[in-house]
Amino acid sequence: MKSKIIKAPAAEAPAPTRAEAEEAVRTLLRWAGDNPERDGLLETPSRVVKAYQEYFRGYHDDPEAILQKTFEEIEGYDEMIVLRSIRFESHCEHHMAPIVGRAWVGYIPNGRVVGISKLARVVETYAKRLQIQEKMTSQIANTIDKVLNPQGVAVVIKAEHHCMTTRGVHKPGTDLVTSRMLGIFRDNAITRQEFLSMID
């Protein structure tokens, strides 16, 4: 009987340096047909790398840690809390094209609440990563559910994907709507409808 060979997991490659990232931009500029050494493009690699640091800063944030500070002096409040129309900008993981949209986040507390800015920060953290909208919707809802342990969580996202509005099928004005309902929002149709009625 042959013994099975188990391969050790590949070591994670070290992150490229800033200089390597800028050189990659120069390569793309040459590939596109331009000259990265001309005056108008000399500082473009540096600017692009700086922009990418902003676009993808969510990889350096911990969304669960954002929700750790909560408030329990709520006088028994147990009704729906909804933060509406949270604007975000993300990038699709298939084409690295912009995704621009808004999120509606609701939950029903179970003895404690979180500052509303923290809900917006959770959306922002997941948005500032390469994404597909379906995954982002679930990540936001699942994180709130895990950390706050509320009676229920509801998330709806509406967004325009430039990978299909400015390229490919070229359908501007089209948006994608996704939702994730947990707890009482999934189990109770009246509660779910109350949340959905708040979405513009």
Q: What is the pLDDT along the chain (200 residues), one digit of tens a residue?
A: 555 666 656 667 888 999 999 999 999 999 999 999 999 999 999 999 999 999 999 999 999 999 999 999 999 999 999 999 999 999 999 999 999 999 999 999 999 999 999 999 999 999 999 999 999 999 999 999 999 999 999 999 999 999 999 999 999 999 999 999 999 999 999 999 999 999 97
Q: Which residues are catalytic, by number?
A: 92-95, 133, 161, 163
Please name the amino acid found at residue 52: Y
User: 20 CB contacts (<8 Å, ≥6 apart)?
Assistant: none
Q: Which domains does the chain have, with CATH numbers?
A: 18-55 (1.10.286.10), 63-196 (3.30.1130.10)
Neighbours of 124 (CB within 10 A): 20
Residue 12: phi, psi to the nearest 5? -70, 130
* Residue type (1 letter), 128: K
Which two tokens mark 158?
């509406």
CA distance 37 to 160: 35
Return the CA Rg of the chain.
21
Burial (CB count <10 Å: 0-12, 13-18, 19+), residue 145: middle
pLDDT value of residue 97: 97
